[in-house]
Amino acid sequence: KAGVTQTPRYLIKTRGQQVTLSCSPISGHRSVSWYQQTPGQGLQFLFEYFSETQRNKGNFPGRFSGRQFSNSRSEMNVSTLELGDSALYLCASSFGGAWDTGELFFGEGSRLTVL
Amino acid sequence: KNEVEQSPQNLTAQEGEFITINCSYSVGISALHWLQQHPGGGIVSLFMLSSGKKKHGRLIATINIQEKHSSLHITASHPRDSAVYICAVLYSPNFGNEKLTFGTGTRLTIIP
């Protein structure tokens, strides 16, 4: 069974640009959640999608957005990139109808560097 | 103030020792996760708890909802257990919205 796949794994952007990251969950998983990890702030929750709807949201500005497609694949977008957006972006998928009913399966992450 | 506090921040032990990592939280939660992160970034989910105790191999996780505290124990520790262990709690900061909040992690090093 394939795991959670994130693309791209590494990318470099400049300030002001925008970026789109992709996450393909484990087959059958309907919940996809996104996280940002930085050395200073640690892991922080961005948002969670379930059946194409954003169900839960963390405390990030509107520059951070996402969506989920009918096949459960998800994308997140960051517009007007800032230096502080440099981070490892992780997604996780889970099986249950509510994401507190089972374990989370994480992808390897997309490492974004903003210059 | 962080909703989730972990201790210790760093822990070095000899192979074979019994390891305990603690997680305290200040909010009412619906679930708590223990995660393991190896160098390079990959995160593995170890346990999801809402009450009681779970065991998987040499790993044991317990939670006390009344005391808002959870512990992760590793028996017969091995160098391959060296990683960062992260506690995360699922709670509702406001109606209709659930959030997963993470501790800062415990860096565990097991010396052969």
CA-angle at A27, arms to A62 and A110, nearest 5°: 45
Helices (H), B3-81: none
Hey, are the CB atoms on B50 and A58 less than 8 Å from each other? Answer: no
Number of CB atoms found within 10 A of residue A19's CB: 18
What amino acid is encoded at A53 in this protein? Answer: T
Hey, are the CB atoms on A37 and B45 less than 8 Å from each other? Answer: no
Distance CA A26, CA A47 (A): 18
> How far from B15 is each of A74, B20, B111, CA to CA, in Å?
41, 14, 6
DSSP label of A109: -
- In this prediction, residue B93 carries a pLDDT of 81
Chain A and chain B share a number of CB contacts under 8 A equal to: 56
CA-angle at B8, arms to A42 and B67, nearest 5°: 95
- Per residue in B49-84, pLDDT (tens digit) is 999 999 999 999 999 999 999 999 999 999 999 999
| B6 min Cα distance to partner chain A (Å) | 13
Q: Is A26 on the interface with B (CB under 8 A)?
A: no
Hey, are the CB atoms on A100 and B30 less than 8 Å from each other? Answer: yes
- Per residue in A51-104, pLDDT (tens digit) is 899 988 999 999 999 999 999 999 999 999 999 999 999 999 998 655 666 788
DSSP, collapsed to helix, strand or coil, labels residue B44 as strand
